[in-house]
A and B are shown apart, each in its own frame.
Chain A
Amino acid sequence: MSNISRRHVLSALGGLALTGSMRQALSASGTQVRVGFTPAFVLNQYALLADWREYMEQRLGVSVEFVQRDSYQETMDLIRLKQIDFAWVCDYPYLYLRNMVRLLAVPLYKGQPYYRSFIIVASGNSAVRSLGDLKNTVFAYADPLSNSGYFVPRFRLHQLGEDPRTFFHKTFFTWSHKNVIEAVAIGMAQGGAVDSFVWETLNLIEPKLTRVTRIVERSPEFGFPPFVAHHEVAPQLFSRVQNILLAMPQDPQGASLVKRLNLDGFIKGNARLYDSLTRMMRAFGEG
């Protein structure tokens, strides 16, 4: 079913018909800054996003627009088409877009620029103790371009000597990490792969949902989904935005936003944070 190759997916990007492509971004022109968001975090905290946008606008002195899309791919398209200047993307797309974007900032989660992938099952499903126990079940992936929600569990199966294309009876994408948790919670899937940051954040703000799921595997740490800037963004704007993000924990309003995001702040980061993923991708033949 979903045994399409990563390469295949990405090559499809170039062939997609575009809608509203002529809506030329004002990007870097200084009159408006557009920031793209992916379902890499808890996307539906709309009030939080609105506050954050206002905060950025105040600090930046120009109009800021937050652009949300339901899948990673759509946000990536926007970057590729220069429809957005900055984006918060997953580490996996970042690596793909490496030639097109620059690392702007890396969020600090629990003081570290790292996160993991969780394999979850329904909490009542006590028979499953690891990913390997989920053979021939229905499994929920987050997004075909997600690291924690797609690549990591498949790589893990590869390590276990299983073919991720045939290991599960059926797999499907839910297009967001939160939906993975829901799919497992209602029993549509017996297992799912989810971003540790999303699961733990939801565990704080919506414990009813996470309570009915149970983590059976935690992956090693990966570089946290970074903020990136299109490489055509003027250096001045780049550093201004970067500085605003880095300085957020220093003022009360910014600190409050960071706290609501369940983060500790931002660092400039380093491309090396994502080396382990690059190695895995190569090992898996997708590099």
Chain B
Amino acid sequence: MVRDESETMYLFNISLRYKLPLWGGFLVVVSVLAVSTALLVKAYDDLQRDVHVGAEVTASTLCRTLFPALLHNDDWRAFEQINAVMASQSPGNPMRLEAIFVTDGEGRIVVSSDPLKFPMLARLDTLGRDYARLAAPLARMAGDKPARRLDFADKNANYSIVDSKQANETNQLPDFTDAKSLFFAQPIRQGSAQVGVLVLSYSKDVFWPRFRNLALQGSLIGALTLAVLLPINWYWGRRMAEPLVNLARRMGVVAQGDQDGQTNVTYPYRDEIGQLFDAYNAMVLEMREKAKLEQELLQAKRLTAIGRLASGIAHEVNNPLGGMLMALDTLKTRGELPAHANKTLNMLERGLRQIEEIVAALLVQTKDQGRHLKQDDLEDIRTLIQPQVLAKSQKLNWVVNFSEEVRLPAAACRQLLINLLLNAVQATAEKGRIGLAVDLEKDGLRLVVVNEAAPIPKEFMDQLFEPFVSGREGGHGLGLWVTYQIVKQLVGQINVSCDNGEVRFDVWLPLEKQ
């Protein structure tokens, strides 16, 4: 049972892409079938009624003229009347009379349009199944008040033809689907005198092809309707399902943790699906934003930890280093030392100075510098890096948009700018372009350094601001770390972006409070 259920469910699990068109198609087919069937039933009824009406007219007319002939036992005259009706049929009439015959109260043929098929006095039950089945209903119709059949010249016959108004008494006899004909019967009577029952037989051989034609036409129209509606339905279903399917696929991708999927899934309408799309797009953007923030936070935390570690070590190293350098200095000034000792001392001093340099770099100090940044500082920086720019035939684009003093520590800003500019010069090929834009904003200073260069590799980008990470041979990897530390100490922001063959460092520093 469980398995059956799952199999049944499977049908409902198929994609909307198929489900919608299939359901639509199913409904279209059902509608067309229902309409066609209704029309066919109507056509069949109409056809039957046409036959019935035709039979009524023929039977009523014939009964009136047959009555005297049969009453007089004038079989030939009766035959001529029947034959006249048969002969007057138009060949095009689909409701074609196949035969006319009259039966008496005992189920025998009195007269017929086709004496070879329905011989005089032949019993209905000897004429085949279709006719044998008529015997009982005909006997019932003949049963009530059978008139005495009179001989043609019976002068004693006592009858009167008074009832010229004949009730509509044409009855359709039971229609058996396997019978080859449709039968209608009407008692031949005037007043209370009945001389037999008239039976009209209409061939179904003609009736059915006509109905089949109608059915065929109906089916054809139905098929045409389907041929038009089904593709439209299929198109419509696919169109309805397509955005949902897309959305579902993207949601699936998001659920698997990949947020790089395209966000701009377009859906032009403002219906519920459109709202769904908007919600999806908003959600994806939000998630991306959140992920980016998390990433940045993580990086900032790491850099802070590294900075703390580095400055802690630098402080610890700085104290003994100061002592060692002082001792060396004392030693060099006091005693005359042998030459080779002097040489060793010098070597020691150079090593210690190098350590001192590195430690000084690690111990980024911004707060203890009193002077504010002026435009002259920027000119100094330009003068300082000019030789390097010229050496590589690079083009420097310098846009400085402030003329006054800004409330930022001059030394820190100088170091920051020099670091970034030198970094740019080094990263840019010969004849490349470098740009600086300094912009004083309402409550901060924006510094943008741009250079032409290949994008920074992603794995390197994550560690860009960590100490001792260098993108090139020979760099000690402290430049950007120092820059970062300065920005952080000034409570600013620094962003790196690479696009269009440019690497762009975007720094924003808030102005000190007055």
What B residues does A172 contact at CB under 8 A?
A: 73-76
Chain B hits for A12, CB < 8 A: 153, 155
How far is B79's CA from A273's CA once the two chains are assembled, in angstroms? 37
Contacts of A4 in B (CB 8 A): 151, 153-154
B116 touches A9 (CB 8 A): no
- The answer to whether B76 touches A174 (Cβ under 8 A) is yes
Name the one of B111, B119, B121 contacting A187, with C-beta atoms under 8 angstroms: B119
Q: With A174-B76, A188-B115 given, is the CB distance from A2 to B120 under 8 Å? A: no
Instruction: Indicate the member of B115, B119, B151, B153 with the most A CB atoms within 10 Å.
Output: B153
| Given the contacts A183-B76, A188-B79, A173 and B115 also touching, CB distance less than 8 Å | no
Q: State whether the Cβ of B152 lies closer than 8 Å to any Cβ in chain A.
A: yes
In A5-47, the 8 Å CB interface with B consists of 8-9, 12, 15
Residue among B75, B120, B152, B154 facing the most chain A CB atoms (10 A cut-off): B75
Chain A 141-191 interface residues, beta-carbon cutoff 8 Å to B: 144, 169-170, 172-175, 179, 183, 186-189
In the complex, chain B residues 25-79 whose Cβ is within 8 Å of any chain A Cβ:
73-77, 79
A1 adjacent to chain B (CB < 8 Å): yes
The residue from A9, A173, A188 contacting B120, defined by CB atoms under 8 A apart: A188
Number of A-B residue pairs, CB cutoff 8 Å, is: 46
Overall SS of chain B's interface: loop
Interface residues on A, range: 20 to 34
Q: Is the CB of A8 within 8 A of B116?
A: no
Separation of A170 and B104 alpha carbons in the complex (Å): 14
Give chain B nearest CB distance to A38 CB in angstroms: 16
Residue with the highest number of chain B CB atoms closer than 10 Å, among A4, A15, A172, A183: A172
Within 8 A of A (CB), among B139-156: 151-155
A180 to B: closest C-beta gap in Å: 9
Judge whether B154 and A173 touch: CB under 8 Å. no
B121 & A170 in contact (Cβ 8 Å cutoff): yes
Residues of A within 8 A of B152 (CB): 173
Binary CB contact string for chain B from 71 to 90 against chain A (1 if under 8 A, 0 otherwise): 00111110100000000000
Q: B115: shortest Cβ distance to chain A, in Å?
A: 4
A173-B155 contact in complex given A186-B115, A187-B116, A188-B120, C-beta closer than 8 Å:
no
| B161-202 interface (Cβ within 8 A of A) | none
Chain B residue nearest to A70 in the complex (CB): B77
**Are A179's CB and B151's CB within 8 A?**
no
Out of B115, B121, B153, which one reaches A169, CB within 8 Å? B121
Closest B residue to A11 using CB positions: B155
With both chains docked as a complex, state the minimum distance between the C-beta of A163 and any C-beta of chain B, in angstroms. 17
Cβ–Cβ contact B116 & A15, under 8 A = no
Q: Are B74 and A186 in contact (CB under 8 A)?
A: no
A interface list, Cβ under 8 A from B:
1-2, 4, 8-9, 12, 15, 138, 140, 144, 169-170, 172-175, 179, 183, 186-189
